[in-house]
Amino acid sequence: AQRVTQPEKLLSVFKGAPVELKCNYSYSGSPELFWYVQYSRQRLQLLLRHISRESIKGFTADLNKGETSFHLKKPFAQEEDSAMYYCALRKFSSGSARQLTFGSGTQLTVLP
Amino acid sequence: DVKVTQSSRYLVKRTGEKVFLECVQDMDHENMFWYRQDPGLGLRLIYFSYDVKMKEKGDIPEGYSVSREKKERFSLILESASTNQTSMYLCASRPGVWAGELFFGEGSRLTVL
């Protein structure tokens, strides 16, 4: 069974500092990885996905299959980045197991 | 924009009561999902539906049932609410199984006394 681990429940950084939110997964096949974000009093929404290889709001994430990781990084954190971040994994295979498995989340606080 | 609307933002119910949580999406999405969101546990899938009248159990279906009579509407039912079902419930939809992105509702916070 697939599993997603976010080891940090809480993470605080100062404005302008680099930030890295860790995500490790366990899955033997080809995974599809996502980061979702939930800002205060807003709905959960997609931030980025690994197959797009895009940068959204200054965030990037690289899939490292050797380390089974998909860490989210931003070189200079902003106060508006404060939010709950969830890493999620989806199997690439067919069948009913194509739903997302979410990690437990990391609450990021960017201090002024 | 995709709109996923959950009918109740806040509910307070008593132990043993029957609870209905309704979710409606306006983009003709085939797939719909119910998650519960708990601190430290993240999102856990309760039930999902690939199409009208189709449903499959997720990771934590015990104590819940669902109904999907129309494509746009997916209901979560707690037949006899218990205090351990106090949680935030999130509904989500996506166009089809090929699509990666889920679109979420604002959530329904249920408190069972």
Q: Which residue has the higher pLDDT, A11 or A101?
A: A11
For residue A56, what pLDDT is reported? 87
- Record the tokens describing residue B19, joined without a space: 């609870």
Q: How far, in Å, CA of A45 to CA of B55, rounded?
A: 24
- Record the tokens describing residue B30, joined without a space: 């085939």
Give B-chain residues touching A103 at CB under 8 angstroms: 42
pLDDT-flagged residues of chain B (< 50): none
Q: How far, in Å, CA of B68 to CA of B52, rounded?
A: 6
pLDDT for residue A42 is more than 90? yes
In the numeric block, the tokens 């008593």 are attached to: B14
For residue A93, what pLDDT is reported? 56
Residue A41: closest C-alpha in chain B: B106
DSSP secondary structure string for all residues of B1-16: ---EEES-SEEEE-TT
Q: How far, in Å, CA of A66 to CA of B40, rounded?
A: 27
For residue B102, what pLDDT is reported? 92
In the numeric block, the tokens 């109740």 are attached to: B8
For residue B96, what pLDDT is reported? 84
Instruction: Confirm if B2 and B26 have CB atoms less than 8 A apart.
Output: yes
Nearest residue to A8 (alpha-carbon basis) of A76, A68, A86: A86
Q: Indicate the SS3 state at residue B30.
A: coil
For residue A79, what pLDDT is reported? 97
Q: Do B50 and A96 touch (CB under 8 A)?
A: yes
Percentage of chain A lying above the pLDDT 70 cut: 93
Counting one residue from A and one from B, how many pairs have CB atoms under 8 Å apart? 44
For residue B36, what pLDDT is reported? 97
Residue B43: closest C-alpha in chain A: A102
Q: Which of B88, B104, B108, B109 should one mutate to test binding to chain A, selecting the residue with the greatest count of A CBs within 10 A?
A: B104
From the list A49, A51, A86, the residue facing B42 with the nearest CB is: A86
Residue A28: pLDDT band with limits 50, 70, 90: confident
For residue A98, what pLDDT is reported? 65
For residue A90, what pLDDT is reported? 86
pLDDT for residue A61 is more than 70? yes
Give A-chain residues touching B104 at CB under 8 angstroms: 43-45
Instruction: Confirm if A7 and A71 have CB atoms less than 8 A apart.
Output: no
Question: What is the tens place of the pLDDT at every residue in A2-18?
Answer: 789 999 999 999 999 99
Question: What is the tens place of the pLDDT at every residue in A65-98?
Answer: 889 999 999 999 999 999 999 999 987 655 554 6
Per-residue DSSP letter, A67? T
Q: Indicate the SS3 state at residue A60.
A: strand
Give A-chain residues touching B107 at CB under 8 angstroms: 43
For residue B64, what pLDDT is reported? 97
From the list B42, B100, B106, the residue facing A32 with the nearest CB is: B100
